[in-house]
Structure 1
Amino acid sequence: MNPERTSWPAILMAVGAGVAAAFQVGKAPIALPFIRAEMGLDLSQAAWILSIFAVMGAGVGAGMGTMVTRLGSRRLLPVGLFILALGSLAGGVLPGFPGLLAARVVEGIGYMLVVIAAPALITLLSTPAQRQMAFGLWGAFMPFGMAVSMTAAPALPLLGWRGLWLGMAGLLVAYGLLVHYRMPRPPRPPRPLESHVLRDVADTLKAPGPLLLAATFIPYSATYAALTGFLPTLLIERMGVTPGTAGLMAAGVAGVNIIGNVATGPALRLGLPRRKVMAAAFAVMMVGCLGIFPSETPPSLAYGLCLLVSACAGLLPGCILGSASIYAPRLTLVPVTLGLFMQGSNWGQLLGPVVVGAAVSAHGWPAASLVLGTATLGGVILALALRRAGKEP
């Protein structure tokens, strides 16, 4: 069921929910030096603060998609924001490293509900002709949210990382109430009487494309999460900048990802095959990652390569998420397909920082080039394999 016209105010509100959720991803990298100092953590331990956020999504993303299908994206979007607020509040008040990790898991549950429910709403509130444009906006939620939250870095010496967590909790509650009371109710697609959770997941997995696209999300999110997550630490260690300056520079890297997000729609409207756009983006990411971390790379060049990698990487979320309505077996399974996509994304967010953190702790920063170069090469291969799905030329 498609609407007669696109409801852009409602779509912007849904994108705003994603931005508020992305704040919870972006707050961790800038707070990492302060958390490590307070708790005495090495880099491999601190990596779990970035990664454990994605544990639930990596395990049950598709299952959460079926829950959104049954209970409704409009109903679950504010619930996800409230769960995020609860996790952020708990992280700000619970003592010790285990308490912080447990709170991040709660945040991850709320995050998954938001990033499945919001694009499902966008699908229901947009016309087919304008859906790719709407998903181009949605694809920018992560870099925009991360960039904005990272600009809080200069205030952290005064505010403290726990103050940042508590402030985010208040913001999430406020936005959750806004969505609950102001988000219009979209037309809900009819659900077949024989629909069943396991059958929905099985039908989605058997369809050509969704599983491959979910796998393609893994190297993207692994690279993006590791690069943006450790960038403030890299800048402090390699360039000797202050934590506040490092946070602002990392915000710039996260922000330029929006360039690729916005360019996705025009690139696909020109008739460029989705798989070739994705493969080209991964190829640039691979070359950039191989040059960022070696010790002989000048710091200014390394930072420039970070900007290039992030900008080109932005083409990938829009290409993948915007294909949900194309590759879903039927419209009612778009949330399940999105859940599967986000499951792949969360596997990348889980593995990227942990593997890179362990490699850097053992062998130094140059080891990150090998890890991320291999991941992005895998992305090129997976993107080109999309031709076998046969949905697009």
Structure 2
Amino acid sequence: MTWLRIGWFYAVGVLAAAQLGKLSSLATPISQALDLHLSSVALVISLLELAGALLGLAAGRIVARLGLRRSLVAGLALLTLAGLGQGLSTSSDGLLAWRALESVGYLAIVVAAPVLIFHSAREADRDSALALWSSFVPVGVALGAMSAGLLAELWSWRASLMAIAATAGIACLTTWAVPAPVEPATLPRAARRRLPPPRAWALSAAFGCYALFEVGMLALLPSFLVEQTGAGTGLAGLVTGLASFATLAGSIVAAWHRRRQRSGTGPLLALALLLPAALLFLLFRPEPGLAVAATLAILLNAVSGIFPGLAFALLPKVAGRAGLTGASGLLTQFGASGSLLGPPSYALLVAWWGWQGAALAGCVASLACLVLMRAALHPAMPGTGQRLLEGCP
């Protein structure tokens, strides 16, 4: 029953992340039906991350006050309502308003779900469960984009959005019926107002650098493949999707490592951050060949996927059990900020130095991430940091 419950909370996170991918695949039919410029549709798509960048820490405090399962149910209810509203929208203003409401539901879910997974898992399984949770975004984005596009082809883009909303409604009712883990006692108001500890800030900032690296690279990859390898738009999108989905392999490696807990985390962290950065210089070069570029993109994403798995597994250790919900909101805020900053940062350096500028942007983000992780794992007391790096409770 424990892993079934964990699997359900993971599935809810995947459903939330599907809201990131669904509008991307529906951008063209929506812009045509509502007579919108593609830039307006792009604004609607990015609004989900913008809310996370602005409100993540506040969401952590609100979730801690409302309770984890109630927040999860409320988040799913908002996804349902917002999805139905988007399907009925007749203007960009309406689409933006419903997307803003959807962003609140998304935030509630991604803050509450990992904490519910933490409290659902047995002590020995918590690290591996949180490591697997880290894959919810690439899995959800891929499934959301594919399902939305398929349903739009079968029916229409409006029917596609409503079908996904109906799925969220069913998940809402199911979540209300699923036995919830015993939540920690409600903290005093003064404790809820307390900011996460410094090491949680360092870990969250490191996660933001990773998001900048990953999202920026994936955002520019299709254009690079079309320009430098001669791939068609569809094939470039397929390679990018496979590369994004490959991060799941890294999450599985991180979960396996945290379950074993026999060797230090430090070397694996360095591998997950430095090897992908080095591979970027082999990828973003003139005319690498489609097969070589696709292989490098998939490989570096598979390796880089180890990092978010380790980051989520280490979050309870740097934040403490009492501060986990607030730290989850903080991690969400930095991750969303990195996602927003990644594409323009890469694009700016590409404009200055050509495609090697993309490799430079990723390298700088990876090095900053490594430095911040060292700060996050810095011992608060003699010996504490070493035990943390060794994976001990």
Class of the TM-score when normalised by the shorter of the 2 chains: 0.7 to 0.9
In the alignment, structure 1 residue 167 sits paired with structure 2 residue 163: yes
| Superposition pairs of residues 343-354 of structure 1, within 5 angstroms | 343-354=333-344
Q: Which moved more, 1:131-140 or 1:289-298?
A: 289-298
| Superposition pairs of residues 55-74 of structure 1, within 5 angstroms | 55-74=50-69
In the alignment, structure 1 residue 392 sits paired with structure 2 residue 388: no
By how many angstroms is 1:373 displaced?
Answer: 3.1
Q: Give the alignment partner of residue 264 of structure 1, picking from 243, 247, 254.
A: 254
User: Which residue of structure 1 lines up, in the alignment, with residue 16 of structure 2?
Assistant: 21
User: Which residue of structure 2 lines up, in the alignment, with residue 151 of structure 1?
Assistant: 146
* TM-score, normalisation: structure 1: 0.84
Change (3 A) 1:217 1:298: same
Q: Give the alignment partner of residue 212 of structure 1, picking from 202, 205, 219.
A: 202
CA distance in 2, matches of 1:46, 1:154: 16
Q: Give the alignment partner of residue 104 of structure 1, picking from 88, 99, 112.
A: 99
| Superposition pairs of residues 166-315 of structure 1, within 5 angstroms | 166-181=162-177, 183-193=178-188, 195-199=190-194, 201=195, 204=196, 207-229=197-219, 231-232=221-222, 235=225, 239-241=230-232, 243=234, 245-268=235-258, 269-315=260-306
CA distance in 1, matches of 2:92, 2:128: 42
In the alignment, structure 1 residue 326 sits paired with structure 2 residue 317: yes
**Once superposed, what is the RMSD of the aligned Cα atoms?**
3.0
Aligned 8 A contact 2:226 2:232 in 1 = yes
CA distance in 1, matches of 2:119, 2:135: 19
In the alignment, structure 1 residue 135 sits paired with structure 2 residue 130: yes
Q: Give the alignment partner of residue 122 of structure 1, picking from 105, 117, 123.
A: 117
By how many angstroms is 1:177 displaced?
Answer: 1.7
Q: Secondary structure, in 3 states, of the residue corresponding to 1:323?
A: helix
In the alignment, structure 1 residue 338 sits paired with structure 2 residue 334: no
- The one-letter code sitting in structure 2 at the alignment partner of 1:179 is T
1:73-128: per-residue Cα shift (whole Å, max 9, x none)? Answer: 11111211222233333334434555444443332221111111111111211122
- The one-letter code sitting in structure 1 at the alignment partner of 2:174 is L
By how many angstroms is 1:275 displaced?
Answer: 4.0
Q: Secondary structure, in 3 states, of the residue corresponding to 1:388?
A: coil
- The one-letter code sitting in structure 2 at the alignment partner of 1:220 is Y
Aligned 8 A contact 2:10 2:133 in 1 = yes
Aligned 8 A contact 1:51 1:349 in 2 = no
Q: Which moved more, 1:233-242 or 1:271-280?
A: 233-242
In the alignment, structure 1 residue 9 sits paired with structure 2 residue 4: yes
User: Which residue of structure 2 lines up, in the alignment, with residue 379 of structure 1?
Assistant: 369
Q: Which moved more, 1:98-107 or 1:16-25?
A: 98-107
Q: Secondary structure, in 3 states, of the residue corresponding to 2:207?
A: helix
Q: Which moved more, 1:231-240 or 1:310-319?
A: 231-240
Aligned 8 A contact 1:279 1:380 in 2 = yes
CA distance in 2, matches of 1:18, 1:224: 19
Q: Secondary structure, in 3 states, of the residue corresponding to 1:343?
A: helix
Q: Give the alignment partner of residue 49 of structure 2, picking from 47, 54, 72.
A: 54
User: Which residue of structure 1 lines up, in the alignment, with residue 390 of structure 2?
Assistant: none
Q: Secondary structure, in 3 states, of the residue corresponding to 1:322?
A: helix
Change (3 A) 1:306 1:179: same
- The one-letter code sitting in structure 1 at the alignment partner of 2:12 is A
Aligned 8 A contact 1:278 1:316 in 2 = yes
For structure 2, the residue ranges without an aligned partner over 5 or more in a row are 387-393
Change (3 A) 1:153 1:60: closer
By how many angstroms is 1:13 displaced?
Answer: 0.6
Change (3 A) 1:51 1:370: farther
Aligned 8 A contact 1:232 1:247 in 2 = yes
* TM-score, normalisation: structure 2: 0.84
Change (3 A) 1:298 1:137: same
CA distance in 2, matches of 1:313, 1:354: 21
Change (3 A) 1:381 1:224: same
Change (3 A) 1:376 1:170: same
Identity of aligned residues (%): 28
- The one-letter code sitting in structure 2 at the alignment partner of 1:241 is G
Change (3 A) 1:289 1:40: farther
